[in-house]
Chain A
């Protein structure tokens, strides 16, 4: 399975194997990665799955959608160019090796 690295605000790294077709949010929540809440279950409604993608190039990530863009304006931690909602990042083989940093707050 392709893997994704999560780097928490305090520097803790977690590497997870993520099944293709699963969202990065789901994978993190199911494995108890602190710092990703995913309260709305991926309905682009809570912005508590906010991540900063550290190495976006070459992974074929989907473009930021309209609703996602709206929600990213309402995140608890500041929005940056590399901000994404991890519930909208659905795992593919091409995404192996993706690194996401977690913000200091999701609420």
Chain B
């Protein structure tokens, strides 16, 4: 029997997904590196070890697959992502293209449209009294501004959400609902590919910037299509879920919302705090390229390591009073977008999108209250809400 700390915790079980934070606390108390016997994987859940694993790409590879399936031991179930599931030097090439497509310069031009769309969408619901906030706001807003920025046509955008479920659903072990879902929506991946072609993307959008890199010979035409597609899968559900969770957190902490309402410039920091406290992306995977030692534990080659970034945000060794949601906290190095070379390339886009949304919301809404049960998504890859019934009180005009 190898010498290791083990646990029966199952990160893909409904109980875990309903309340990951008490499971994280249990894992943190067990030790720095724990072996999850249910799935035969290692996991880390403290700030320092999460950071170590995510930044040491010579040891912890992305080429073994972004989900639980181990491409070093079994054939990939689909063609690996040319950005997320590759290591340097291949990674550097595609990453450079996306970094440019999403650079601060590009974002400065987008801001005005985000502001206008957010203000309009909040204005549409402000006097309605009770709303279902996921469909009315936190899903509707990203689903408008994100594809607009990429340059995607209006028609059929709900397919983006279906595609997101297909991509993030593959993060965990194979389950019957997923196979059914893939079958029901088997036409969607082709629809996405058609929408990602050069001539389908509007001028001036991020999609065309990516094709511009193909014109310069930095990537092939096919790779440009794949990178646009990556955008569509990585940028929609994540922002929908994180903005939704942030709104939920604010609704449950009226004293925090009051701070934001009185000073809407806190919007960016509020979203940053929500990304630390309760966000869409809870865990990531790496696969070891060689035998290694981590916090005193030997880990063999070709082993899967699950990195609970959601737990890193609650680690009292790094954050003071980590379970408290405080939108005026000075947040240093929260890890909700990952860290290191694969750290989210869309994070500045996500921050801007959310900042504009919560600023517009705080400018128009005086207070809010949750009026009924909320629903949690049970997909393995992301955490998010399906429903959030809210009563809104508008600010006096």
Contact = CB atoms under 8 A, between A and B. Distances in A.
A66 interface: yes
Interface residues of A, number: 23
B340 interface: yes
A40 B103 contact: no
A42 interface: yes
Q: Which secondary structure dominates chain A's binding surface?
A: loop
Contact of A43 (B104, B334, B341): B341
A42 B337 CA distance: 11
A76 B337 CA distance: 22
A41 B333 contact: yes
B133 interface: no
B262 to A, nearest CB: 23
Interface stretch (A10-18, A56-64, A67-75): A67-75
Interface stretch (B13-21, B34-42, B93-101, B360-368): B93-101
Interface string B329-348: 01011110111111111011
Contacts of B99: 44-45, 67, 70-71
A39 B104 contact: no
Contact of B96 (A29, A30, A40, A67): A67
Contacts of B333: 26, 29-30, 38, 41
Interface of B: 92, 95-96, 99-100, 102-106, 330, 332-335, 337-345, 347-348, 351
Given A41-B335, A76-B104, 11 more contacts: A29-B332, A29-B333, A30-B332, A41-B333, A43-B338, A45-B343, A46-B347, A66-B92, A67-B95, A71-B103, A73-B105
18 contacts: A38-B333, A40-B337, A40-B347, A40-B348, A41-B333, A43-B337, A43-B339, A43-B345, A45-B99, A45-B347, A46-B348, A70-B103, A71-B99, A71-B104, A73-B103, A74-B104, A74-B105, A75-B104
